[in-house]
Amino acid sequence: MKLRTKLFVALVSLSSSAGVMAAGENNVGSCGWGSKLFAGQSGIFPQAFAGITNLSFGNQTFAISSGTSGCTQDGAVSSSWQTALFIDGNKEKLARDISRGQGETLDSLAKLLGVSDNDKAHLYLTARQNFDRIFPSAQASTDDILQGFQQVLAQDDTLKVYTAKL
């Protein structure tokens, strides 16, 4: 019941904190989206939609190896963060689409990676056949998924060119 109440309230807040445009205030360097609940919570499938509850700025939800200072500028995601944030916010749907070899979330990821139309079918097939490597466990973090994806792409002659945007 408590969770329900919290979510009920949070539902109303909707996107009140997420991605507020900064026509006057500082909004540089915040990473307000992505799933805060993922942090410290195991499981590839989180228990409630993170984007609604407890929105706050400045929380990195997964380890950043690139060392950039922030992932949004005035509410728009900087390109170097786009793919990572998208995967972080769409983990379950991505896993589902990859396992089926089709789906909107997978199409969107392909677009972010800049995959050409010719290569899409091959990407989807390769990803599906390597599902277990990309999502090694139910506790896989976004970092794990990114790494798994990177390895799978790197080992394929046609697809290795797309690791650049991962």
Partner 1 sequence: MFPAGPLLMRVLCVVLALTSSLAAADDYLTELVAAASARSLHQDPQWQALLHYKARAGLFGLRSLADDSRFFNAPDGKTNPQAELAATLAAFFSTDAETAEQQNPQCRFMARYQWLKATLSFDANRLPEQPCARFHAWREKLDPERITLVFASAYLNNPSSAYGHTLLRVDRVGQADNTSLLAYAISYAARADDTNALLFGLKGLFGGYNGTYAMSPYYQKVAEYNDFENRDLWEYELALTPAEIERILAHVWELGPINFDYFFFDENCAYQLLLLLDVARPSLALADEFPLWAIPADTIRAVAQIPGLVRRTVFRPSRSTVLKTRIAGMDAGQIERALALARIGTPLDPPSMASAPAAELDLAYDYLDYRRERGDLQGPEVAQRLRALLSARSKLDEPGELSIPTPAVRPEQGHRSGRIGLTLGRLEGHAFQELRLRPAYHDLLDAQAGFLAGSQIDFFNVVLRHANDSGQVALERFDIAHVVSLSLRDSLLKPTAWSAYFGADRLRKGDGTEGMRGRITVMGGQAYGLTNCCQWHLLAGGDIQGSKRLEDGYAAGGGAKAGVQVDLSAAWRVAAGVRYFHYFLGEEHTAREARLEARLTLSTDWALRFEAAEQRELGARSTTVSATLYRHF
Can you give the binding site for partner 1, defined by CB under 8 A? Answer: 3-9, 11-26, 28, 33, 42-45, 47-49, 51-52, 73-78, 85-86, 89-90, 92, 95-96, 98-102, 104-105, 107-108, 111-112, 128-129, 131-132, 135, 137-139
| Nearer Cβ to partner 1 (128/147) | 128
Q: How far is CA 25 from CA 22, 29, 128, 154, in A?
A: 5, 12, 44, 42
| Residue 4: CB minimum distance to partner 1, A | 7
| Nearer Cβ to partner 1 (48/166) | 48
| Residue 35: CB minimum distance to partner 1, A | 10
Termini Cα distance of the chain: 40
| Residue 146: CB minimum distance to partner 1, A | 17
| Nearer Cβ to partner 1 (133/163) | 133
38 and 141 Cβ atoms separated by less than 8 Å: yes
Q: How many CA atoms lie within 13 A of 24 on its CB side?
A: 0
Burial class (CB in 10 A: 0-12, 13-18, 19+), 132: exposed
| Residue 105: CB minimum distance to partner 1, A | 7
Buried b (16+ CB within 10 A) or exposed e, 7-34: eeebeeeeeeebbbeeeeeebeebbbbb
**DSSP-derived secondary structure letter, 25:** S
| Residue 125: CB minimum distance to partner 1, A | 8
